[in-house]
A and B are shown apart, each in its own frame.
Chain A
Amino acid sequence: MANKKDVLFGLYDDEEILVDAVKEAKNQKFDIMDVFTPFPVHGLDPALGLSESRLHVAGFVFGLLGALTAFGFMTWINVVDWPIIIGGKPYWAVPAFIPITFELTVLFSAVGMVIVFYTICGLAPTGNTKVLDNRITDDKFCLAFDVTQMDESEKMELEKFFGNTGASEINTKTL
């Protein structure tokens, strides 16, 4: 990795304490690096000020692409490339194209959205994992600050913050 980050993080035992701590950190204008939890905690996104995910837009765009691809392809084949009468139907047998158009809409939308999800989250089967603490995927709720640029007094202040908000452990790690 290009830049190593020094991370100071506190571990909380319960998601309710964590959400309160996040709110407190926002109040005190601390710059939160990230929050890691073992499961999706509702109420955390507004506390962190995260805007709603726009992933569904990707789903719509890919779905539209799938629909157009399927319908256009079938139209081109049956009308332009090799017109053939099947069961006395017209070449451009729109109702018969609906099932495949629907299936490809779903297929493109799902595959596209999953690829976008992995890409923007930076998830890939590369084998290297940057985990602050192994218990974050178990039962610890982690609030992390990037302290690479900070001096000792600022770090002390963060440690005091962790103490006041009920963190059960305070650790540092270089990622």
Chain B
Amino acid sequence: MGSITSPIREPLVTGNKTYHQITEDICAPTERAPSLSWTIAFTIANVLLGVFTFTSVWTVYFGIGTWDLNRTVGWGWDITNFVWWIGIGHAGTLISAILLLFRQKWRTGVNRAAEAMTIFAVAVAGQFPLIHMGRAWLAFFIFPYPNTRGPLWVNFNSPLLWDVFAISTYATVSILFWYVGLIPDLATVRDRASGFRKKIYSFVSFGWTGSAKHWQRWESLSLVLAGLATPLVLSVHTIVSFDFATSVIPGWHTTIFPPYFVAGAIFSGFAMVLTLMIITRHVLNLKDYITIAHIESMNKVILLTGTMVGIAYLTEMFVAWYSGYIYEQFAFYNRALGPYWFAYFAMMACNLISPQIFWWKKMRRNIYVTFIISIFVNIGMWYERFVIIATTLARDFLPSSWSLYTPTWVEVGIFVGSLGMFFTLFLVFVRVAPVVAIAEIKHILKTSGDQYLEEKKEYVKKQQFTEKE
């Protein structure tokens, strides 16, 4: 292959792999019996999923009064969790779509798992508005369907309705994008399997053969889907931020919200990708495919988006002061020094300060530091949403309706349980499908495999030597 990769680029596939070894390494986790660590993790995730089911049913049965929401705080942990999960669900499409358009080869190591994570995070996020409706069985009322009440239509001027369209579109397009990419790899698993497994994989791989024309269309489709998904991913969190920004609540009614939310979404999404990938590469032994170079690249994104989010926090503060509008000023004073000061402090410490450690290359390339920071970021981003939602609502225009809000065991259970739902889905995924895009790794092997880069280094050295003579 006429490769044009610079020899100073770091290899993205290490261990002197051949095409066949790549297939072996990546298919192996789907073919062996589950390991003990997987079984333990799966059991815990299932217990938490049970907690989620129980608390959700409890909520639907007794009503959302069980959450102790009050007159002013109508959105508590529930919407915080919703925005948090939706944010996490942004990294997958970012990695697979935007990095595909930018021709970043390191995306191939992590895109498959990141996309899966996206889909699961969006699925989990979708549960929160659903149970928050109270009468979850009437959820279809949010869609504009011809009904016998007039027909009475939904309000197309409302950002909450835009959100319905944005999130359902995002979920659909993410699933399509992910599955189209998965088909050739499922075919690889199919061709290695036998018996009943072969039958199942024959169905799910849609009869893929690897024909040249199919590959051409597949690449064309991936590229156009990436082109569509790029503005889509930016629009989704923009619209989520409209839920707040188009209201007239001081602290929410700001034009900075869309870019700030999008940066925050990418930030939290990458943190979750790192958390998952560091565990996955270790447990499934994929260190040759998800290398330190991959982790370093993602840490750079964390540093960039974390700093962007930090600047947004500071800009909000400045604008509140500069606006001369006392209610806006109070909203921000209250955020930092009011009853929820600890949440604000956690947000600042985790999101703005902790990622700054990644200015040092040694830290970016350190697995342990990366893992700890990724957890910090996950926590920090949850607090960010809590700060935006709860602190703002707890201090209303009328001091007589000021209140404090603390979650009940039901809400805590739903949140902890949602982690269970997410990890259950992810753990099933790593057992049944290749976690790394096999075909795409093979595609970049000759430009980014360590043995080929080494060859090129030798070649360049020789060239320089002859030039000197």
**Residues of B contacting A15 in the complex (Cβ-Cβ under 8 angstroms):** 1
Q: In this assembly, does A135 line the interface, its C-beta being within 8 Å of a C-beta of chain B?
A: yes
A23-31, A95-103, A149-157, A161-169: which one contacts chain B? A95-103
Contact A126/B207 with A113-B225, A114-B221, A135-B191 known, Cβ cut-off 8 Å: yes
Total number of residue pairs linking A and B with CB closer than 8 Å: 198
Q: Is the CB of B165 within 8 A of A37?
A: no
CA gap between A131 and B204 in the complex, in Å: 15
Contact A100/B161 with A34-B211, A38-B442 known, Cβ cut-off 8 Å: yes
- The smallest beta-carbon distance between B138 and chain A, in angstroms, is 20
**Residues of B contacting A20 in the complex (Cβ-Cβ under 8 angstroms):** none
- The smallest beta-carbon distance between B28 and chain A, in angstroms, is 13
- The smallest beta-carbon distance between A110 and chain B, in angstroms, is 5
Closest chain A residue to B187, Cβ basis: A137
Q: In this assembly, does A107 line the interface, its C-beta being within 8 Å of a C-beta of chain B?
A: yes
**Residues of A contacting B192 in the complex (Cβ-Cβ under 8 angstroms):** 134, 138
B56-64, B148-156, B318-326: which one contacts chain A? B148-156
A residues 110-153 in Cβ contact with B at 8 Å: 110-111, 113-114, 117-118, 120-132, 134-139, 142
Contact A125/B169 with A48-B212, A110-B176 known, Cβ cut-off 8 Å: no
Q: In this assembly, does B330 line the interface, its C-beta being within 8 Å of a C-beta of chain A?
A: no
- The smallest beta-carbon distance between A24 and chain B, in angstroms, is 16
**Residues of A contacting B249 in the complex (Cβ-Cβ under 8 angstroms):** none
Contact A99/B239 with A16-B1, A138-B19 known, Cβ cut-off 8 Å: yes
**Residues of A contacting B208 in the complex (Cβ-Cβ under 8 angstroms):** 123, 129, 137
Q: In this assembly, does A42 line the interface, its C-beta being within 8 Å of a C-beta of chain B?
A: yes
Closest chain B residue to A22, Cβ basis: B212
**Residues of A contacting B213 in the complex (Cβ-Cβ under 8 angstroms):** 34, 50, 121
Q: Is the CB of B209 within 8 A of A36?
A: yes
CA gap between A54 and B174 in the complex, in Å: 22
Q: In this assembly, does A104 line the interface, its C-beta being within 8 Å of a C-beta of chain B?
A: yes
Q: Is the CB of A110 within 8 A of B172?
A: yes
Q: Is the CB of A123 within 8 A of B153?
A: no
Q: In this assembly, does A172 line the interface, its C-beta being within 8 Å of a C-beta of chain B?
A: no
Q: Is the CB of B161 within 8 A of A137?
A: no
CA gap between A93 and B216 in the complex, in Å: 43
Closest chain A residue to B27, Cβ basis: A138
**Residues of B contacting A110 in the complex (Cβ-Cβ under 8 angstroms):** 172-173, 176-177, 225, 228-229
**Residues of A contacting B155 in the complex (Cβ-Cβ under 8 angstroms):** 86
Q: Is the CB of B153 within 8 A of A77?
A: yes
- In-complex Cβ contact of B166 among A41, A52, A73, A99 (8 A): A99
Contact A99/B235 with A37-B210, A38-B210, A129-B190 known, Cβ cut-off 8 Å: yes
Q: In this assembly, does A64 line the interface, its C-beta being within 8 Å of a C-beta of chain B?
A: no
**Residues of A contacting B216 in the complex (Cβ-Cβ under 8 angstroms):** 40, 45, 50, 52-53
- The smallest beta-carbon distance between B255 and chain A, in angstroms, is 14
Q: Is the CB of B199 within 8 A of A139?
A: no
Q: Is the CB of B144 within 8 A of A73?
A: yes
Q: Is the CB of A136 within 8 A of B225?
A: no
Q: In this assembly, does A55 line the interface, its C-beta being within 8 Å of a C-beta of chain B?
A: yes
Contact A106/B224 with A40-B443, A123-B207, A131-B191 known, Cβ cut-off 8 Å: no
Contact A37/B212 with A110-B176, A114-B176, A121-B217 known, Cβ cut-off 8 Å: yes
Mark A residues whose CB is within 8 Å of B. 15-16, 34-45, 48, 50, 52-53, 55-56, 59, 63, 73-74, 77-78, 81-82, 86-87, 89, 93, 96-97, 99-100, 102-104, 106-107, 109-111, 113-114, 117-118, 120-132, 134-139, 142
Residue pairs across A and B with Cβ atoms less than 8 A apart, 16 shown, are: A39-B215, A39-B440, A44-B212, A55-B217, A81-B153, A89-B157, A99-B235, A103-B232, A107-B173, A109-B228, A110-B172, A110-B176, A114-B176, A129-B187, A134-B192, A139-B19
Mark B residues whose CB is within 8 Å of A. 1-2, 18-20, 23, 144, 150-153, 155-159, 161-162, 165-166, 169, 172-173, 176-177, 180, 183-184, 187-188, 190-192, 199, 202-221, 224-225, 228-229, 231-232, 235, 239, 242, 438-440, 442-443
Closest 10 CB pairs of A and B: A139-B19, A53-B220, A123-B206, A134-B191, A40-B215, A39-B439, A99-B162, A137-B188, A139-B20, A35-B212
